[in-house]
Structure 1
Amino acid sequence: MIVANDLEVRVGARTLLQAPGHHLRVQPGDRIGLVGRNGAGKTTTMRILAGETEPYGGSVTVSGEVGYLPQDSREGNIEQTARNRVLSARGLDEVRAGMKRQQALMEEGNEKKRDKAIEKFSRLEERYHALGGYEADSEAAQICDNLGLEERILDQPLKTLSGGQRRRVELAQILFAATNGSGKSETTLLLDEPTNHLDADSISWLRSFLARHEGGLILISHDVDLLDKVCNKIWYLDAVRAEADVYNMSFAKYKDARALDEARRRRERANAEKKASALQKQADKLGAKATKAAASKQMRARAERMLNELDEVRVADKVAHISFPTPDPCGKTPMQAKGLTKMYGSLEVFVGVDLAIDRGSRVVVLGYNGAGKTTLLKLLAGVERTDGEGGIVTGHGLKIGYFAQEHDTIDGDKSVWQNTIEACPDADEQDLRSLLGAFMFSGDKLEQPAGTLSGGEKTRLALASLVSSRANVLLLDEPTNNLDPISREQVLDALKTYTGAVVLVTHDPGAVKALEPERVIIMPDGDEDMWSDDYMELVELA
């Protein structure tokens, strides 16, 4: 159970949320959808409830186990295997490692050491069985399989996995810790965009898993179908009023209820403004007479109270004006890749990939999770170096704009403004301020540390840097992740109108349709083909 008491959430001088009393509480059986526009404070509030950061005011009381999946998960020991990372949720990894060490000592010739090793092995084996033993190992593997992590991946070190694979390992670890596989658990799950990097089958399995979870659940997601199928309660963070509205109903019913609430507020304000206006006019008449000055003052005060006691009327959400840059001129083939190869130790990601990016070409990169799609974009962007003799051939006028899936181009310790001027050192300062304003960054928001931004805000910041770059080749890795529906549509419209070359990695069918690709690259082999709608069924599996 989690109970917030007089919770106040701020970022810098900006108040995101005030929730008096025990307005926000999570009990077993509550499956809560935490919703609101990008920047309303969903991720910040989730981090506070998870105990990752302190609230500005009030307190949070937690009882029982909590499993928290942050939007940008960062693992500790990247040398650890994926299997051991999942098993570590119940301490099974350390017990197994201890058993293995004692088993090696048991095989040695020294009788005294062997007897001691046998004794320690027996104690460890008892502990292993108490934690679920080999059945738990099988259960962890089953959860991993349902999340699209194949058996061959589980014994690889985390450092060799793609960003999407690591994210799924973290989700598997949390689900394994929370339950015995039946969904029956008292653990409170706090999941921030859990479907990022999941294919359609894995999302379907996760939806069923969460719908039968008996512990508490708070879910941040832009997957409307997931919210509708899983949630029985909605917390709506209103960025205008800095308040949370609690709806004890499904997501579909909540949308209708919120529309009615907003209509009620508009009617109440209109009526109050009409009455207050009449009082003000009467006060003006009385104020002209010295003998009626006190009565006039009382009427004005009453009119002000009438307006102040009303709920704020929600105005239309501001929308970022997202566009991609007007590309600088370039040659016919601004970029070529020859013999790109990537290895992690002895593990081969891909070998000998060739690719030519012509002026204005539109290419989509597909392949299963872990096939090397993100790695390919990093090589093209110059963020990583190829292994072997291959490389990038730079054509006339090449200017690259790179959007990183994990927002690696953003320095979380620096402010929004510092990140922007470092990304665009030659741009005019006033032009940059106007650009950031169009992307909904202005005032105190410019001084906010980028690490405290929500996933959607980081996406907007990264896109803003692209716009001022005048890039003629855009390398886009999942540019619609974490965006609310309105911002996502803005990105799709920008893709449609951009005239430069695009290399796109995405699992969003809408992004592929907006791009209207000419070619497709299938990883890990790097096979190239002309685009056909037959490839659309591979997009959600990418």
Structure 2
Amino acid sequence: MITATGLELRAASRILLADTSVRVQTGDRIAFVGRNGAGKTTTLRVLAGEGKPYSGKVDVTSPLGYLPQDPREGDLNISARDRILSARGLDVLAADLAKVHIEMAELVDGPARDAAINRYGSIEERFSNLGGYAAESEAARISSNLGLPERILNQPMHELSGGQRRRVELSRILFAAADAGDGTMLLLDEPTNHLDHDSIVWLRDFLKSFNGGLVIISHDVELLAAVVNRVWFLDAVRGELDIYNMTWQRYLDARSADEQRRRRERANAEKKASVLFTQAAKMGAKATKAVAAQNMAKRAEKLLAGLDEIRVADKVAKIRFPEPAPCGRTPLAASNLSKAYGSLEIFAGVDLAIDKGSRVVVLGFNGAGKTTLLKVMGGREKPDTGKIEAGFGLKLGYYAQEHETLDPDASVWENIRHAAPDAGAQELRNLLGTFLFKGEQLEQKAGTLSGGEKTRLALAGLVSSAANVLLLDEPTNNLDPASRQQVLDALHSYSGAVVLVTHDAGAVAALEPERVILLPDGTEDHWSDEYLELVELA
């Protein structure tokens, strides 16, 4: 169980959550919702014990699994398989078994070989007591369902993309939860990011049958509708948590009814208060009625003070990609690109030409190298073979799905200044304002922002450029529906060239692509709507 008492959370002087007490128990499957930047990620981090509240306390009395938005670093030299197995303490034993097995095969001396056989038996017994080979098989099954095939599990963590590392962490958490029993608490922050359609469906079924406690932040409405039985709404205006003990659809109806009720109550109270204030003003002019006038004014103030704040419409970032700088016919080209990590070939023989204003989608199953290709095109990684050629007037804008273009230790203001060093200070302040960054938040470190806020800041950096080629890697991840629609509109209206990697079919539809590049083979084809079926699967 997780119990939070008198919780207050702040970002600088801004109150995110005020004097809140909540409890997560076995059987609770809670959707945690609210606009981007309201404080959901911060709250989840505090509940997981990885952040400290401004005041109040959190008690956790059950096994806990926490998936943050950003992939954990940890030991990047171990294999993905060992990282997952470490959730049950099996990784060291599995490594020891493999080591002794090699010794047994190499030893010829009788006594030494007998000693190795005895060590192997002892280790294997401990391994079996912890679930052993059946647990390894279970870990592989969970990983496979989350888009991590055997070849990925054998790779060291440092060779994996950010999305693959995040899926390893999710696999690890679910592997641990499957062993810990019904008392496990899961805190999942956008778990469907980087998952293909089949993996999302599998995760939905897993969570539906999960019997522990769950708090989930997600913009996947289908998942929430299928899984949750309670909803927490974090109101960014009031800094309060509204709790609905009901399913997702009933919550939507109840929240709408609450808003209508609050508006009616405020309208009636304001009408009564207006009458009282008017009457008090008339009576106050007469000395004999001054006390009565004061009492009326106090009654009016009390009426207004007792009202709940109305949730104003959430502000949405005004996202418009830049007017592209002039360039030649083919601002970006590549020939014979290949990339491998160790013995694992990611892609090979990729040729492409990004013409002025062209619109290209990169498709391929998870692990096919889509993100790596964009990193190579953007100069973030070097290809093993081939070359990138910058055409006349190229100005490149790169959006990284893991927000690697942001400096987590620098402030919001320092990040935007770095992205647009030649822009005027007031111009940048105005730009940040349209992306909902104002006041003290400009001094907030980028590493403390929520996933949605990081996305907005990274997009603001793109907008501050005059890029004529945009490389966009999952630009709609972490965004609420209104902000996502802004990105889709910006994609549709941008007149420069775009190379897009996404699982979001809506983003592809907004782009109206002309061509598709299929990885890992690098095959190029004219776009057809038949490829739309592959977008969510890839």
Which among 40, 43, 46 is matched to residue 44 of structure 2?
Answer: 46
SS at match of 2:338: strand
1:414-425 superposed matches below 5 A: 414-425=410-421
| Structure 1 Cα separation of the partners of residues 202 and 208 of structure 2 | 10
SS at match of 1:446: helix
SS at match of 1:156: coil
SS at match of 2:216: strand
| Structure 2 Cα separation of the partners of residues 140 and 177 of structure 1 | 9
| Structure 2 Cα separation of the partners of residues 67 and 31 of structure 1 | 14
User: Hey, what does 1:25 align to over in structure 2?
Assistant: 23
Deviations 1:275-321 (A, max 9, x none): 21122122222322334333333332222222112110111111111
| Structure 2 Cα separation of the partners of residues 365 and 356 of structure 1 | 13
1:6 matched to 2:6? The reply is yes
| Structure 2 Cα separation of the partners of residues 346 and 211 of structure 1 | 39
SS at match of 1:352: strand
1:100 matched to 2:107? The reply is no
| Structure 2 Cα separation of the partners of residues 518 and 334 of structure 1 | 17
| Structure 1 Cα separation of the partners of residues 457 and 284 of structure 2 | 53
| Structure 2 Cα separation of the partners of residues 103 and 475 of structure 1 | 48
Deviation (angstroms), 1:116: 5.4
Letter of the 2:484 partner, please give it. R
- The answer as to whether partners of 1:105 and 1:113 remain within 8 angstroms in 2 is no
1:178-189 superposed matches below 5 A: 178-180=177-179, 185-189=182-186
Which among 244, 248, 252 is matched to residue 251 of structure 1?
Answer: 248
Which among 179, 189, 193 is matched to residue 192 of structure 1?
Answer: 189
1:320-339 superposed matches below 5 A: 320-339=317-336
Which stretch shifts more, 460-469 or 122-131? 122-131
| Structure 1 Cα separation of the partners of residues 387 and 121 of structure 2 | 55
- The answer as to whether partners of 2:416 and 2:461 remain within 8 angstroms in 1 is yes
| Structure 2 Cα separation of the partners of residues 82 and 465 of structure 1 | 33
Deviation (angstroms), 1:5: 0.2
SS at match of 1:406: coil
| Structure 1 Cα separation of the partners of residues 110 and 300 of structure 2 | 93
| Structure 2 Cα separation of the partners of residues 321 and 226 of structure 1 | 28
- Scaled by the length of structure 1, the TM-score of the pair is 0.96
1:418-457 superposed matches below 5 A: 418-457=414-453
| Structure 2 Cα separation of the partners of residues 362 and 109 of structure 1 | 64
User: Hey, what does 1:15 align to over in structure 2?
Assistant: 15
User: Hey, what does 1:348 align to over in structure 2?
Assistant: 345
1:514 matched to 2:510? The reply is yes
Which stretch shifts more, 46-55 or 301-310? 301-310
SS at match of 2:186: strand
- The answer as to whether partners of 1:509 and 1:539 remain within 8 angstroms in 2 is yes
1:462-541 superposed matches below 5 A: 462-541=458-537
| Structure 2 Cα separation of the partners of residues 91 and 291 of structure 1 | 83
Deviations 1:470-528 (A, max 9, x none): 10000000000111001111111111100000000011110111111101000111111
Letter of the 2:498 partner, please give it. V
- The answer as to whether partners of 1:184 and 1:212 remain within 8 angstroms in 2 is no
| Structure 2 Cα separation of the partners of residues 456 and 90 of structure 1 | 32
SS at match of 1:263: helix
| Structure 1 Cα separation of the partners of residues 5 and 482 of structure 2 | 33
1:384 matched to 2:381? The reply is yes
| Structure 2 Cα separation of the partners of residues 294 and 109 of structure 1 | 107
1:269-308 superposed matches below 5 A: 269-308=266-305
Deviation (angstroms), 1:9: 1.1
| Structure 2 Cα separation of the partners of residues 104 and 486 of structure 1 | 57
SS at match of 1:364: strand
Identical residues among aligned pairs (%): 65
Which among 224, 237, 257 is matched to residue 240 of structure 1?
Answer: 237
| Structure 1 Cα separation of the partners of residues 382 and 480 of structure 2 | 34
User: Hey, what does 2:176 align to over in structure 1?
Assistant: 177
1:80-99 superposed matches below 5 A: 80-99=78-97
1:461 matched to 2:439? The reply is no
SS at match of 1:148: coil
- The answer as to whether partners of 2:399 and 2:471 remain within 8 angstroms in 1 is yes
- The answer as to whether partners of 1:164 and 1:370 remain within 8 angstroms in 2 is no
RMSD: 1.6
Letter of the 1:339 partner, please give it. N
SS at match of 1:179: helix
Deviation (angstroms), 1:377: 0.6
Deviations 1:164-209 (A, max 9, x none): 22221111110000114xx953211111111111111111111010
Q: Which runs of 5+ in 1 are unaligned?
A: none
| Structure 1 Cα separation of the partners of residues 270 and 432 of structure 2 | 35
- The answer as to whether partners of 1:333 and 1:358 remain within 8 angstroms in 2 is yes
Deviations 1:44-99 (A, max 9, x none): 11101111101111111101100001111123122211111111110101111223
Letter of the 2:69 partner, please give it. Q
| Structure 2 Cα separation of the partners of residues 441 and 59 of structure 1 | 29
| Structure 1 Cα separation of the partners of residues 295 and 125 of structure 2 | 79
| Structure 2 Cα separation of the partners of residues 415 and 113 of structure 1 | 60
Deviation (angstroms), 1:439: 1.0
| Structure 2 Cα separation of the partners of residues 103 and 439 of structure 1 | 58
SS at match of 2:241: strand
1:357 matched to 2:354? The reply is yes
Deviation (angstroms), 1:420: 0.3
Which stretch shifts more, 330-339 or 94-103? 94-103
User: Hey, what does 1:152 align to over in structure 2?
Assistant: 151
SS at match of 1:54: coil
Q: Which runs of 5+ in 2 are unaligned?
A: none
- The answer as to whether partners of 2:411 and 2:443 remain within 8 angstroms in 1 is yes
- Scaled by the length of structure 2, the TM-score of the pair is 0.97
Letter of the 1:300 partner, please give it. A
